[in-house]
Amino acid sequence: MAINIRGRNFLTLLDFSPAEIRYLLDLSKNFKDLKRAGTPHRYLEGKNIVLLFEKTSTRTRCSFEVAGMDLGLGVTYLDPGSSQMGKKESIADTAHVLGQIYDGIEYRGFSQKVVETLAENAGIPVWNGLTDEVHPTQMLADLLTMEEKKGRLKGLHFTYFGDARNNMGNSLMIACAKMGIHFTACAPRELFPAPALVETCKKIAAENGGTIRLTEDITEGASGADVLYTDIWVSMGEPDSVWSERIRLLKPYQVNAKVMALAKSDAIFMHCLPSFHDTNTTIGKEIADKFGITEMEVSDEVFSGPQSVVFEEAGNRMHTIKAVIYATLH
């Protein structure tokens, strides 16, 4: 049956079937080819989208803007301080207003409830550009990158190190379950994903030939993996006061050369970015001064090494976001 997701919201991969995700990945590949060939693809000329960011961003914002412009769309960016949303106007009222003016809304912020409320009231597609709970557009870029590098998705062994209950841990578990990838979260027990989501993902994984495993053991987690993935230890919106506890919990889970050596010899290293792999950032420097660590979730050696695909992964954000915009708006 032909896949059609016109008019749909893109709030979490839980709402999409493996066939629909497959369709978005294939569409992303087509758009990547068009971009590389320099072939114009202004298929959505005359439409307009608005990007609402309540948290900072480099990749997601730039990807939505460039993808939108490549498709011929008009694009408005609203930064965390420059709209009435939430302060003088409710989320629902904002959605009604934007729905009168635009053809699609991207939202990055805190609670998933906000993006759901926008979607319930806007009458136009709403795309989740990251919430505290999930980061679904990142998932498409990650799946595309894995497929490009490994030649397949089904049956791959994927291990996520770090805060496994944050937006990345949750989304990666969902994405792997949908695509039949064997998913392992390697983390201290305190940072395991919520049991209800684990149960949901176990059911989805079973339908698609995948498995879900949680372990505190680094050797067990890394051994035989095709993909090692990590994320920053403290996410946007979390208070600075959690750093010390998070460092204590996650320091043993750093992806370094020793951990990479446990994985398959042709394993790849992935990270959604931004990353604290050196002290060339304000926060990286502050943490080094305060806690005496110069590399956090990944060693600089692994981040910059031959197995790392992080920058191609970041580049794939644009092609995959373009696919989501096109598929829901054309």
Contacting residues toward ligand CP, per CB under 6 A: 57-60, 130, 138, 272-273
CB of 130 to ligand CP, least distance (A): 6
Q: Which is nearer to ligand NVA, 43 or 110 (CB)?
A: 110
CB of 163 to ligand NVA, least distance (A): 7
Whether the link from the prior residue into 274 is cis, omega within 30° of 0, is: yes
Work out what residue 219 binds among ligand CP, ligand NVA, none; the CB cut-off runs from 5 to 8 Å by kind: none
Q: What are phi and psi for residue 39, nearest 5 degrees? A: -85, 120
Name the residue with tokens 């305060």.
Answer: 290
Residue of the chain from 134, 168, 218, 318 that contacts ligand NVA (CB under 6 A): 168
- Among candidate residues 61, 231, 271, 319, the one labeled active-site is 231
At residue 22, φ and ψ (nearest 5 deg) are -55, -45
Tokens of 44: 């959505």
Determine which one of 70, 103, 132, 138 is catalytic: 138
Pick from ligand NVA, ligand CP, none: which does 167 bind, CB < 5 to 8 A by kind? ligand NVA
Compute the distance between CA of residue 284 and CA of residue 303 in angstroms, rounded to an integer.
Answer: 15
Is 135 an annotated catalytic residue?
yes
Q: Which does 235 bind (CB under 5 to 8 A by kind): ligand NVA, ligand CP, none?
A: ligand NVA
Per the annotation, the verdict on 231 as an active-site residue is yes
62 binds ligand NVA (CB under 6 A): no
Contact flag: residue 297 with ligand NVA (CB under 6 A): no
Token duo for residue 303: 């981040």
Piece in contact with ligand NVA (CB under 6 A), picked from 144-152, 183-191, 192-200, 228-236: 228-236
Q: SS3 of 224, please?
A: coil
317 catalytic, yes or no?
Answer: yes
Q: How many other β-carbons are positioned within 10 Å of the β-carbon of residue 62? A: 14
Is 6 assigned a catalytic role? no
- Of 166, 230, 299, 328, the residue at the interface with ligand NVA (CB under 6 A) is 166
Token code pair at residue 206: 């079973």
The site map against ligand NVA for 98-137 (x = CB under 6 A) is --------------------------------x----x--
Question: Residue 110: which residues within 8 A CB-CB, separation 6 or more?
Answer: 54, 55, 131, 132, 237
Distances (CA, A) of 215 to 102, 156, 206, 222: 45, 18, 19, 10
235 binds ligand NVA (CB under 6 A): yes
In the complex, minimum distance from the CB of residue 138 to ligand CP, in angstroms, rounded to a whole number: 5
Distance CA 281, CA 200 (A): 38
Q: Does 167 bind ligand NVA (CB under 6 A)?
A: yes
Min dist CB 37 to ligand NVA, Å, is: 30
Residue 132 CB, nearest approach to ligand NVA (Å): 7
* Chosen residue from 232, 249, 255, 314 binding ligand NVA by CB under 6 A: 232
Distance of alpha carbon 215 from alpha carbon 238, whole angstroms: 24
Query: Residue 62 Cβ, how far from ligand CP at the closest point, in Å?
Result: 8
Query: Which DSSP state fits 71?
Result: T
CA gap 122, 116 in Å, rounded: 10
Of the candidates 216, 238, 102, the one whose C-alpha atom is nearest the C-alpha of residue 161 is: 216
Calculate Rg over the CA atoms of the chain.
19
Give catalytic residue positions. Answer: 108, 135, 138, 231, 272, 317
